[in-house]
A and B are shown apart, each in its own frame.
Chain A
Amino acid sequence: MTASQGKPAKKERPELTTHPWGRRIIILIVAAYITALILGPVIALFAGAFREGPGAIQAALSQPGVLSAFWLTILIGLFVVAVHAILGTVVAWVFVRDRFPGRNLINGLMDMPFAVSPVVVGYMLLLLFGRNGIFGPLLAPLGVRVAFAIPGMVLATLFVTLPFMIRELIPVLENFGISQEQAAATIGANGWQIFRRITFPALRWGFIYGVTLTFARALGEFGAVLVIGGGVQGRTETATLYIYRALDERNYVGAYSAALILGIFSLGLVLGTDYIRRREQERN
């Protein structure tokens, strides 16, 4: 998917064709567009959060409920990452190495979470697990609550983050091929040994990127957890749901500060991974 298109890092080639003025104008337009579209709003958020000073941010973030909302977000994120790390790897492996009927159709459907509205995702789960849903009434007597509870929010986050791990791993697996695995098999290694010693090390960076993107996406999920979780303060309120409530209650410093922290956290995650990978590439 789009996220898998890593940054092309080829050496610059000399310029041939463009007129010097054409070149200047194009660079100017691009720089102005990115400044207005991306940099402007980012700076505005910083300014908005710091408008009443760092003390106000600290006060806003230490209000009851804020910390627990961030904790819930992180816990759901970690759980989702763990599930996709294992099952996403299995899915990627199966789609590269195995052939079975319906493979192409499912392969196409796998990108659906990227385009289906998060609200619709939450609603689908409500149709399955809600009060009048298909499984809801079956699970209720067992005391299992999925809708308006954490399990539903985990399912919603699993759905929206489904493609990231798989789409990171599939191209890496395809490029890696199977000759080394076959060689290992010839000298008597078993399937698990081959995976652990040969295949997984080759997948390592795809895997790390997949984990990072899944986690970042999970931290920011909003629409789906709003619909299936209901955003009950202190119970099903994640960081994004807290921001939404704070805006609604006109607690602007609270909303802006929490948004700033969440944005910095997920951005730091992605940039940090990028930085480590680049340093490792330079060392080799």
Chain B
Amino acid sequence: MKTKTPKQEIGYQSPLGRRGLRGVALVYLTVLLLIPLFVIIQDGLREGLTGLWHQVTLPIAWSALILTLWTAAIMTIINTMMGTLTAYALVRYDFPGKTIINSLVDLPLAIPTLVTGVMLVVLFGPQQALGALLKEQFGISIIFAPPGIIMALLFITFPFVVRTVQPVLLDLDRAQEAAATTLGAGSWTIFRRITLPPLILPMISGALLSFARAIGEFGAVVIVAGNIPLYSQTAAVYVLGEVESENRLGASAVSVVMIAIAFSLMMLVDWLQQRERKGSL
């Protein structure tokens, strides 16, 4: 989305046609997007902010939200580092298998997240060779435990940081690095002082996108984490449980908190990307 956005004059359309199209677009978005969002926010706030807070701080709901946040946070840290490193290797180096790695980066976007969950269960499930080995030798459980959640989130969000950092890295002017080399700077100094600074904003955008995406993740997590309250039950799985047991207050309250987190993160990403665009002009 790194395109210039010049204010474009309205083209050839007659005012009537333009208004008609605008009407169609706005009705479509209102019906599909705004009404559902409005209804759930209103439902979550039915008993006011205190009522919402009460529902959210019930032990099982609270622990589900905290688990969702901390697994997403760990994923974000790993994903930001590895995503930047991957983008760096793909842009700067030539090596055998590079084309394959470049295509593998996009693979998670094309695979349904439920299928991702199934894959991880096949690999790490307690009845599988690798899962059993980890369990017996090291006492590590991945499936039906928080590490599985983090693995699933890492898989799903892998493209986000790579694909936000990569184009910026490609556009970077290499002359400054060459100049620094001439002046005798070491490669780490050059990376830290010259290459890294322009990458910070895209890294943050990618990190926030990954985090926002992870908060709501369901398909992979429900398979991998099981549904153990207070241990491996995430917020999305909690909402499903409350919907199924017809606890409307609890389901709506946690949903509203998740929507609020998603909304603020997406707005922040939007703002960062606009800033970045302005900075690069």
Contacts and interface: CB of A to CB of B under 8 A. Distances in A.
A119 B43 CA distance: 16
Contact of B36 (A37, A115, A121): A121
Interface stretch (A10-18, A52-60, A62-70, A138-146): A10-18
A158 B18 contact: no
Contacts of A184: 12
A2 B212 CA distance: 12
B155 interface: yes
Interface stretch (B51-59, B133-141, B216-224): B216-224
B235 interface: yes
Contacts of B120: 41
A159 B216 CA distance: 14
Contacts of A100: 22
Contacts of A48: 122
Given A41-B116, A243-B114, A263-B112, A125 B243 contact: no
Interface in B179-219: 180-181, 187, 190-191, 209, 212-213, 215-219
B109 A270 contact: yes
A5 B164 CA distance: 7
A4 interface: yes
Contacts of B37: 109, 112, 116, 124
B278 interface: no
A93 to B, nearest CB: 7
B1 interface: yes
Given A8-B167, A120-B259, A123-B251, A34 B218 contact: no
Contacts of B219: 118, 220, 222-223, 240
Interface in A223-244: 223, 226-227, 240, 243-244
A243 B222 CA distance: 13
A96 B9 CA distance: 10
B160 A2 contact: yes
A76 interface: no
A196 interface: no
Nearest to B101: A34
Contacts, number: 306
Contact of B181 (A16, A22, A118, A270): A16
B110 to A, nearest CB: 4
A191 B13 contact: yes
A179 B90 CA distance: 37
A112 B164 CA distance: 19
Interface in A77-127: 87, 90-91, 93-100, 106, 108-127
B112 A17 contact: no
Given A240-B112, A262-B112, A120 B104 contact: no
Contacts of A30: 82, 85-86, 89-90, 101
Nearest to B36: A124
B228 interface: no
B111 interface: yes
Interface in A21-62: 22-23, 26-27, 29-31, 33-34, 37-42, 44-45, 47-48
A120 B258 contact: yes
Given A97-B8, A109-B37, A110-B33, A17 B181 contact: yes
Contacts of A213: 109
A181 B39 contact: no
A263 B239 contact: no
Nearest to B34: A109
Interface of A: 1-5, 7-8, 10, 12-13, 15-19, 22-23, 26-27, 29-31, 33-34, 37-42, 44-45, 47-48, 87, 90-91, 93-100, 106, 108-128, 134, 155, 158-159, 162, 167, 171, 174-175, 177-178, 181-182, 184-185, 189, 191, 194, 213, 216, 219-223, 226-227, 240, 243-244, 247, 255-256, 259, 262-263, 266-267, 269-271
17 contacts: A2-B160, A7-B102, A12-B94, A18-B92, A30-B90, A33-B86, A34-B86, A37-B158, A94-B25, A97-B10, A115-B212, A115-B216, A116-B258, A119-B240, A171-B1, A221-B112, A247-B223
Interface of B: 1, 3-6, 8-14, 17-18, 21-22, 24-26, 28-29, 32-37, 39-40, 43, 82, 85-86, 88-95, 97, 101-116, 118-123, 128, 151, 154-155, 158-160, 163-164, 166-167, 170, 174, 177-178, 180-181, 187, 190-191, 209, 212-213, 215-219, 222-223, 235-237, 239-240, 243, 251-252, 255, 258-259, 262-263, 265-267, 269-270
Given A111-B266, A114-B212, A259-B119, 16 more contacts: A2-B160, A8-B167, A18-B187, A90-B21, A98-B10, A98-B21, A108-B266, A116-B216, A117-B218, A124-B39, A128-B36, A159-B32, A171-B3, A191-B14, A259-B114, A263-B119
